């Protein structure tokens, strides 16, 4: 059974995402990168030859790579001002992603791409909008 650091493992290419660790080609336990430039290490993954390795699968489990989480807080305030018996003016203030937290997209999962494992997109920044509405 191959070794990864001090541990014997059955799946040498498995990525330990809870600790952001992976097993390198030499069997050494490596701290896995976890930034936008490289969310997933490329070394545990390889493309199989469709002619000689048809029908074979690797030893990484299904859905084991987890993307970054999402944290989003929206807020809305409104004030209704009566103008007369039948009409009122409504002032609205709305904030989206009020904490301005960076919500990264999923890493690129195409092995043929030079951007494999990189996060290439993010959600919108803090947005504010104000509005007036005449209701009659």
According to DSSP, the residues that pair with 119 across neighbouring strands are: 107
pLDDT tier, 19 (very low <50, low <70, confident <90, very high otherwise): very low
pLDDT tier, 54 (very low <50, low <70, confident <90, very high otherwise): confident
pLDDT tier, 13 (very low <50, low <70, confident <90, very high otherwise): low
Q: Tell me: pLDDT of 18 over 50.
A: no
Q: Tell me: pLDDT of 92 over 90.
A: yes
In tens, the pLDDT along 55-78 reads: 777 767 777 777 888 889 999 999
More confident residue, 16 or 113: 113
Q: Tell me: pLDDT of 50 over 90.
A: no
């Amino acid at each position: 059974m191959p070794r990864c650091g001090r541990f014997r493992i059955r799946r040498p290419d498995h990525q330990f995402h809870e600790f952001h660790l992976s097993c390198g080609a030499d069997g050494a336990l490596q701290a896995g990168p976890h930034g936008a430039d490289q969310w997933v290490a490329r070394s545990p993954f390889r493309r199989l030859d469709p002619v000689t390795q048809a029908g074979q699968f690797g030893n990484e489990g299904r859905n084991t790579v987890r993307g970054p989480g999402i944290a989003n807080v929206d807020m809305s305030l409104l004030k209704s001002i009566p103008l007369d018996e039948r009409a009122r003016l409504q002032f609205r203030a709305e904030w989206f992603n009020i904490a301005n937290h960076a919500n990264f997209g999923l890493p690129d999962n195409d092995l043929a791409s030079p951007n494999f494992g990189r996060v290439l997109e993010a959600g919108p920044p803090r947005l504010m909008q104000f509005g007036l509405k005449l209701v009659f």
